[in-house]
Amino acid sequence: MEKIKPCDFIIFGVKGDLSKRKILPSLYYLEKTNNIHNNTCVIGVGRSKWHKIDYINMIRKSLVTFLKEKINEKIWLKFISRFKFCNLDVYYSDNFIKLKKILDQKNRVSINYCAMPSSTFSAICDGLGKAKINKKTSRIVIEKPLGTNLESYNYINKKILKYFNESQVYRIDHYLGKETILNLLAFRFSNSFFLNNWGNHIIDSVQITVSEEVGIEGRIEYFDKTGQIKDMIQNHLLQILSIIAMESPKNLNTNSIREKKIKIVRSLRKIDYNNINEKIVLGQYTFGKINGINVPGYLDEINLDKNSNTETFVSLRVDIDNLNWAGVPFYLRSGKRLKKKFSEIVIYFKNLPINLFKEFNKKNFQNKLIIRLQPNEGVEMQILNKLPGLKNKYELQLTKLDFNFYRNNEYKTDAYELLILEIMHGIQSHFVSCEELEESWKWIDPIINGCKITKKKPILYKSGSWGPEESNFLIKKDGREWNKYN
Ligand SMILES: NC(=O)c1ccc[n+]([C@@H]2O[C@H](COP(=O)([O-])OP(=O)(O)OC[C@H]3O[C@@H](n4cnc5c(N)ncnc54)[C@H](OP(=O)(O)O)[C@@H]3O)[C@@H](O)[C@H]2O)c1
């Protein structure tokens, strides 16, 4: 375990949604588990002309709402005593002097967490630079989405790298802090059983599904300009794909892991206007029922542009052109207002060339490994075995080896708790490098342009369904079907 060091932890946008929902509760949890140094300060930055007491009330309220447990008063007092506040509009770089005065002037680590819209990141960098608080010991944390295409990403990135080195930049994709994603590395590279049974010699296909019950939850303006491809595929699903497909890294150091992940993104077969219709299905939800409750359609919900063609669902076939994965399709699927909230990876193993048991079992069977990201984080392996008893000679039954990562009442670590701790320790392996992001935009841009060129429109699907029927055809035409969630 790394030694905890003191730091100045600055939250730009402390009264914003992300801060209330994730950052503040995670910091409280780290306090409770003694993972914050006694001399660490938290500095909340906001634009509103708030007094200290308004901020404290807001922090208390957000903990009451978003903590998974009741506030412990002793921990609360220690936690809140760390806080200082600074009202400043980041577009006025002169104001950053105010912030400088609050910071510890010794040469200790300062963490600048930008919990603000990405349009403000370059102003924050300019302000920190102008006030000379972008010291070598400082770190900058930025949230997705970074850019809306390769060009805008390059612009933001260039700005950040003008004031910080890559080793100081922490680009968050919170999926990388999820226990099951971290476990993927452990699972793949600590078990010889999996290490040697991974790749096109044994795997038939892979499915990655991230299914949401919620709609756009008030993020109308952001989402309507973004859509599901950029909101989910460009980041979370590509990250999962590259961890599943990457070769074994030399060690667990940041650069070794990143190097192997980038190789996968670089090997993705291009999807553009030439092949977009055979590779991708887009959808948009309409009125329907989720868990028995009526929910409005996307166009009624957004009330902005009744002609909006923004996709709320996407499924696609992705191919990796390298020796290890050639011929193994990766099917990716993600959508809003679907029947159930769940995320899973399903690895289908190839059928045996000969079925010795066919006299007793007519059905064709494929071994499956299901890695559940949520709910019930864990792994399920589906195997065949002989039905016990004298009567049954070689009649087979399907058995599920199922294990959860958590025991019954064990605390489930939130991705942000882990990621914030890693930032405090200065470890970057669970953050996205500038090269990875650049490669992912290089792959996504032709898809977005291809949709525009071919005037591809989303197909309507009922809220509470599994998306448009065409998504089933996409995979059926390859002789496969989506794993049935139960
Ligand atoms: N919310 C989530 O669950 C979530 C999830 C993943 C990623 N993200 C990303 O996280 C970032 C923050 O999202 P959010 O939902 O928390 O946004 P938000 O609720 O809109 O909060 C943004 C905060 O930024 C402050 N702010 C805006 N302009 C400012 C300026 N010029 N100077 C100083 N402060 C300013 C606002 O302060 P005032 O209120 O005082 O104006 C507000 O508190 C975004 O990049 C978003 O894409 C959010």
| Residues above pLDDT 70, as percent of the chain | 98
Closest CA to 208 of 347, 321, 328: 347
Residue 143 DSSP label = P
Of the residues 47, 125, 140, 153, which should be mutated to test ligand 1's pocket, given the most ligand atoms within 8 Å of the CB? 47
Distance 254 CA to ligand 1 centre (A): 28
Question: What is the per-residue DSSP string for 358-427?
Answer: TTT--S----EEEEEEESS-EEEEEEEEEPPSSS-SS-EEEEEEEEESS-TT-----HHHHHHHHHHHT-
Q: Minimum mean pLDDT among 344-353, 395-404, 430-439: which range?
A: 395-404
- Given a cut of 90, is residue 176 above it in pLDDT? yes
Mean pLDDT of 249-274: 95
More confident residue, 404 or 51: 51
Q: What confidence category does residue 304 fall into, taking pLDDT thresholds of 50, 70 and 90? A: low
Nearest-CA residue for atom 43 of ligand 1: 16
User: Residue 408 pLDDT > 70, yes or no?
Assistant: no
Res 3 pLDDT > 70: yes
The set of residues, in sequence order, having a beta carbon less than 8 Å from that of 361 and lying 6+ positions away, is 355, 394, 395, 396
Identify the active-site residue in 174, 236, 425, 430. 236
Contact between 275 and 268 (Cβ < 8 Å): no
Gap from CA of 46 to ligand 1 centroid (Å): 10
Q: Is residue 53 over pLDDT 80?
A: yes
**pLDDT band with cut points at 50, 70 and 90 for residue 362:** confident
284 CA from centroid of ligand 1 (Å):
26
pLDDT band at 60; cut points 50, 70, 90: very high
pLDDT of residue 315: 98
Residue nearest to atom 35 of ligand 1 (CA): 47
Q: Does 1 score more than 70 pLDDT?
A: no
Ligand 1 pocket: which of 54, 116, 232, 420 to mutate (most atoms within 8 A of CB)? 116
Write out pLDDT tens, residues 6-34: 999 999 999 999 999 999 999 999 999 99
Residue 282 above 90 pLDDT?
A: yes
Q: How far is the CA of 471 from the centre of ligand 1 (A)?
A: 34
Ligand 1: residue whose CA is nearest its atom 38: 47
Q: How many CB atoms lie within 10 A of CB 185?
A: 17
If you measure from the C-alpha of residue 409 to the centroid of ligand 1, how many angstroms do you get, rounded to a whole number? 33
236 is catalytic: yes
CA torsion sign, 371 to 375 to 376 to 381?
Answer: negative
**pLDDT score recorded for residue 85:** 96
Looking at residue 2, what is its pLDDT? 62
Which residues lie with the beta carbon below 6 Å from any ligand 1 atom?
13, 15-19, 21, 46-48, 89-91, 115-118, 120, 143-145
Burial 407-441 (b: 16+ CB within 10 A, else e): eeeeeebbbbbbbbbbbbebbbbbbbbbebbbbbb
d(CA 79, CA 32): 9
Percentage, residues of the chain above pLDDT 90: 76
Mutate to test the pocket of ligand 1, among 18, 55, 114, 124 (most ligand atoms within 8 A of CB): 18
Neighbours of 473 (CB within 10 A): 10
What mean pLDDT comes out for the span 117-138? 92
pLDDT for position 145: 82
Q: If you measure from the C-alpha of residue 17 to the centroid of ligand 1, how many angstroms do you get, rounded to a whole number? A: 6
Q: Per residue in 289-301, pLDDT tens?
A: 999 999 999 998 8
Which residue has tokens 């052109």? 321
Q: Give residue 305's pLDDT band: very low, low, confident or very high (50, 70, 90).
A: low
Residue closest to 142 by CA, chosen among 132, 130, 452, 159: 159
Which atom of ligand 1 sits closest to the CA of residue 19? Answer: 16
Q: Tell which atom from ligand 1 comes closest to the C-alpha of 50.
A: 40
Q: Atom 41 (ligand 1): residue with closest C-alpha? A: 47
Q: Whose C-alpha lies nearest to ligand 1, atom 3?
A: 18
Gyration radius of the chain over CA positions: 24
What the block records as the tokens of 139 is 């770190």
Q: Has residue 288 got a pLDDT over 70?
A: yes
Quote the pLDDT of residue 427.
92
The DSSP output letter for 312 is S
Which of 17, 141, 210 gets mutated to test ligand 1 (max ligand atoms within 8 A of its CB)?
17
314 C-alpha vs ligand 1 centroid, how far in Å? 27
Question: Which amino acid residue places its CA nearest to atom 36 of ligand 1?
Answer: 13
- Provide the token pair at 368: 């499956």
**Which of 463, 46, 69, 443 shows the shortest CA–CA distance to 279?**
443
Q: What pLDDT, on the 0 to 100 scale, is given for residue 167?
A: 95
Q: What is the pTM of this model?
A: 0.93
CA of residue 456 to ligand 1 center, whole Å: 32
State yes or no: cis peptide before 329, omega within 30 of 0: no
For residue 279, give every residue at least 6 positions away whose Cβ sits within 8 Å of its Cβ, in sequence order, or none. 271, 316, 317, 318
CA atoms within 13 A on the CB side of 143: 20
Nearest C-alpha to atom 32 of ligand 1 is from which residue?
Answer: 89
